A and B are shown apart, each in its own frame.
Chain A
């Protein structure tokens, strides 16, 4: 139903005058609400199956992330295993079977999402590279789908291969099986960010990397995020990673996931390796660890 409405609105927008009126009205609305909301969950519940076998992945999730102009916000999502962190990301991405939500509304830029799209890029933990494509063709994939001609997309892809710390000369023509896990994640990040999505969704992208590679990747991500000014949702198991990367940390309760705590955390001013040893930084980590542990124990008590 909502889809039909937005389709009906489009032709109006195309006609000059009507469009101007519509935008003005829209501006007033957003001013009335403060900043416009880039992602908003209203009472979102996702249930799989029916009857006694039904499984509720997330329940009554409410949050709103504002579109910070010229900056974008970095939201880290933490929580115990199986609490529905990935479900939240996949609902924003519009990926089945998590999309659509069973009840409630998932709004991106104030509109319900019809399905997956390049405005919401996603980086996964595994199976990330298209094995049959060279690094260059992996990075250029999204541009190729958009119909950008070969010369232009390769030029931009080479720039991004450099930006994520790979060698344009040595690595561009390699196939994924010739790369290490960290290098493959660099390719995946370049392939997503080259499209300059306004929302970047990352589902434990560094979860399979060794600790030192992981720290380097965190610094790379911060650097690229500052350049892109996009809103990032970053799911992770690692509290240090969440506190270091995030402007805000959402903590989800155990299954079915509901957002229980929302914390502002310090801005990453130093490289990951230094900052994650800082006592002030560690205070935040311990505080969050205590919160999660108390959530888990109260959950267990509830089961007994």
Chain B
């Protein structure tokens, strides 16, 4: 309860500071010029025009669709690869260079390359998210499996389980809760990456709306979109947390 109150007071502090910095009717009387930072009220008041003229909902849909598609693809490939890497030393050694390379790659540098490979349509955006996320998802899944105590494997071995049975009946199900937590964090990352491609080039999407607002105004839309992104990310994380509790009832809340 105290933690909740502290969190709220932090938000109040930031909005308060924002309010003070943008106080005043005339542009000259403000500490920060309204062309750079609009007042909280001005930002909120620009919401109808963002929704109607700039088709906010359509862009939210476009962005979410790209992230979900690319991220799901990355999960489908990365989780099994990572689990294999965590289970078998040979698979780990085989995948190590790609994972290491992929995790350290400056992703912005990949954008021109994905354009070259996949054009500038939706496919390119989905593939960018996929390429950006797969190394992280693979590494996370591998470390989740490797984090499982050896005792579980030994117990299964003395109960007659084959290495295949250990992989599927012991390691995979024990690693899934941790993998899911990792995916929750990485989804936030993917959400950040999609902005990058959408700023670069897109016909809809939240990143596209930001770049339009920057070029054509109103600038208040930029702040508004940033706030909306934060709320969306929070909402998605809560949704995933809800699924997590339903999927893994055997995981005690600790």
Contact = CB atoms under 8 A, between A and B. Distances in A.
Interface of A: 93, 95, 115-118, 120-122, 124, 126-128, 130-133, 141-142, 144-146, 175-177, 188, 191-192, 195, 201
B154 A176 contact: no
B250 A131 contact: yes
B11 interface: no
A188 B159 CA distance: 11
B151 A145 contact: no
Contacts of A141: 156, 159, 161, 169
Contacts of A188: 155
4 closest residue pairs by CB, A with B: A118-B160, A177-B252, A116-B157, A127-B151
Contacts of B252: 177
A215 B170 CA distance: 31
Interface residues of B, number: 23
Nearest to B172: A132
Given A145-B156, A195-B160, 18 more contacts: A93-B154, A93-B158, A95-B154, A95-B158, A124-B151, A127-B151, A127-B152, A127-B155, A130-B152, A130-B156, A131-B250, A132-B174, A145-B159, A145-B161, A177-B250, A177-B252, A188-B155, A195-B159
Contacts of B250: 131-133, 175-177
Contacts of A120: 158
Contacts of B176: 132
B149 interface: yes
A44 B157 CA distance: 23
A145 to B, nearest CB: 5
Contacts of B160: 117-118, 142, 145-146, 195
Nearest to A93: B158
Contacts of B112: none
B55 interface: no
Interface in B17-74: none
Contacts of B248: 132
18 contacts: A95-B158, A118-B158, A122-B155, A122-B158, A124-B155, A127-B149, A128-B151, A130-B170, A132-B173, A133-B173, A141-B156, A141-B169, A142-B161, A144-B169, A145-B165, A146-B160, A177-B252, A191-B159
Contact of A95 (B149, B157, B169, B251): B157
A10 B149 CA distance: 36
A121 B157 CA distance: 9
Contacts of B173: 132-133
A118 B159 contact: yes
Contacts, number: 75
Nearest to A174: B250
Grouping DSSP codes into helix (H, G, I), strand (E, B) and loop, the B interface class, with mixed when no group exceeds half, is helix
B249 interface: yes
B180 to A, nearest CB: 13
B162 interface: yes
Contacts of B162: 145
B48 to A, nearest CB: 50
Contacts of A131: 174, 250-251
A116 B154 contact: yes
A128 B155 contact: yes
Nearest to A177: B252
Contacts of B174: 130-132
Contacts of A127: 149, 151-152, 155
A286 B53 CA distance: 90
A178 to B, nearest CB: 8
Contacts of A192: 158-159
Contact of B154 (A124, A132, A146): A124
Nearest to B177: A132
A201 B158 contact: yes
A116 B158 contact: yes
Contacts of B249: 175
A231 to B, nearest CB: 15
B171 to A, nearest CB: 11
Given A127-B149, A127-B151, A131-B250, A145 B169 contact: yes
Contacts of A195: 159-160
A189 to B, nearest CB: 12
Contacts of A145: 156, 159-162, 165, 169
B160 to A, nearest CB: 3
Please indicate which of the listed interface residues A118, A128, A145, A191 has the most CB atoms of chain B within 10 Å of its own CB.
A145
A15 to B, nearest CB: 27
Nearest to A90: B154
A132 B169 CA distance: 9
